[in-house]
Amino acid sequence: MADQYAHSGEDKRPTETPAIRWEEPPEGPVLVLLDQTRLPAEEVELVCTDAPALVEAIRSLAVRGAPLLGIAGAYGVALAAVRGFDVDEAAAALAGARPTAVNLAVGVRRALAAYRAALAEGGDGRRAAEAALAAARALHREDAEASARMAGHGLALLDELLPAGGHRVLTHCNTGALVSGGEGTAFAVALAAHRAGRLRRLWVDETRPLLQGARLTAYEAARSGMAYTLLTDNAAGSLFAAGEVDAVLIGADRIAADGSVANKVGSYPLAVLARYHHVPFIVVAPVTTVDPDTPDGASIEVEQRAGHEVTEITAPQVSVAGAGGGIAVAPLGTQAYNPAFDVTPPELVTAIVTEEGIVSPVTSEALAELCARARR
């Protein structure tokens, strides 16, 4: 296929503004988020001063993506603590803001444990708040380090599995710096391949209904200078049939103990296509996304979102028209099925890449070891 959509440009930071940062202005500590619902049209920041504001930002996907949700959840606990709110109440609201990405509960749990441990050791509220903040900062740092290591492992796997020369990789949803303390998960692998001169093309699924691919991955890919092409989700099959896909790289929101992978809806059909066309289907996720306490895919709670996300087009540039704030593309009153995620069974997963290495094939023994690492 002609490279008519090749894009060349210097390798810039995906956005000038970090996805999340903790600030301590004179009026008191705040959590500053890059509002991802406004991208790619504009970089707008949300300033959260309490947990309810952060819960709303999580629910609206102003802040999103499993690893970043974990970091945000941990900072949210610290924010409640430093501002003297009820920390247990804040932690419960944050952990319950979205059900599928296990990282959110993990991040909240880490900061809450640090807070409670400081109190148990006789520390006062201020000391306990500092402990929660330190736990959030540590998770932020660890995720950035994990992202870099996953990128290295993932590129090595692509080089091992695929013929020499440029790799043509298809990805779904958004898994770059906007979901991470670093450069992301699956997108970080594509970025590493690009920087090594071994990415021939990144195929970007638009990812209906919220268009994380079209709005966010295309934005990050453009700024990186890599060759990328956007496609509708329903066009992926024809790309496989044309032999234009060498590997699929996706992220994850929860990996169950049996290796089932919950990820953005549309991931499971890609796994079936990849298997049918003998293309590696590679999941890239930090160990914090592995959930030893969820036994299998059927046990994963898949978030069901509002129907208007399907029946209306809601993008930063459009004006208000439909009930949900977008332009109605379906008759008003149309009911819609809108699962935010789907679950891919382990037998369709070629490899799971974490910061600790590559699990392939996905055997019960390898999964048991991965789960043990997740429990540490």
Q: Which residues bind ligand LNRAV4D5 (CB under 6 A)?
A: 61, 64-67, 173, 175, 179, 185, 212, 250-251, 253, 263-264, 340
CA 19 to chain centre: 12
Query: Cβ closer to ligand LNRAV4D5: 60 or 364?
Result: 60
Other beta carbons within 10 Å of 137 = 17
In whole angstroms, give the CA distance from residue 323 to residue 306.
11
In whole angstroms, the minimum distance from the beta carbon of 344 to ligand LNRAV4D5 comes to: 11
Q: Pick between residue 19 and residue 81 the one whose CB is nearest to ligand LNRAV4D5.
A: 19
Q: Has 66 been labeled as part of a binding site?
A: yes
Alpha carbon of residue 69 to chain centroid:
8
Least distance CB 57 / ligand LNRAV4D5 (angstroms): 12
Q: In what order do the strands lie in the sheet with 228-231?
A: 228-231, 199-205, 167-171, 247-250, 281-284, 351-354, 357-359
Choice between 115 and 309, CB closer to ligand LNRAV4D5 = 309
Kindly tell me which of 131 and 173 has the beta carbon lying closer to ligand LNRAV4D5.
173
Is 264 within any annotated ligand binding site? yes
Catalytic residues: 253
373 marked ligand binding residue: no
State the maximum Cα–Cα separation within the chain, in Å, rounded to a whole number.
67
Residues 341 and 165: their CA atoms lie apart, in Å, by 33
Q: Is 335 annotated as a binding residue?
A: no
**What is the CA angle 287-69-142, rounded to 5?**
45
User: Bridge-partner residues for 231, per DSSP?
Assistant: 205
**Shortest approach of ligand LNRAV4D5 to residue 212 CB, angstroms?**
5
Q: Min. distance of Cβ 137 from ligand LNRAV4D5 in angstroms? A: 20
Residue 212 annotated as part of some ligand binding site: yes
Residue 258: CB minimum distance to ligand LNRAV4D5, A: 19
- 263 labelled binding-site residue: yes
Write out the two tokens for 136.
């959030």
* Cβ nearer to ligand LNRAV4D5, comparing 82 with 252: 252
Cα-based angle 300, 303, 307 (whole degrees, multiple of 5)? 150
DSSP helix/strand/coil, 282: strand
Neighbours of 257 (CB within 10 A): 19
Q: Which residues contact 167 (CB under 8 A, 6 or more apart)?
A: 158, 193, 198, 199, 200, 246, 247
The reply, when asked if residue 116 is annotated as ligand binding, is no
- The residue with its CB nearest to ligand LNRAV4D5 is 251
Q: What residues are designated binding site for substrate?
A: 64-66, 98, 212, 263-264
Q: What residues are designated binding site?
A: 64-66, 98, 212, 263-264
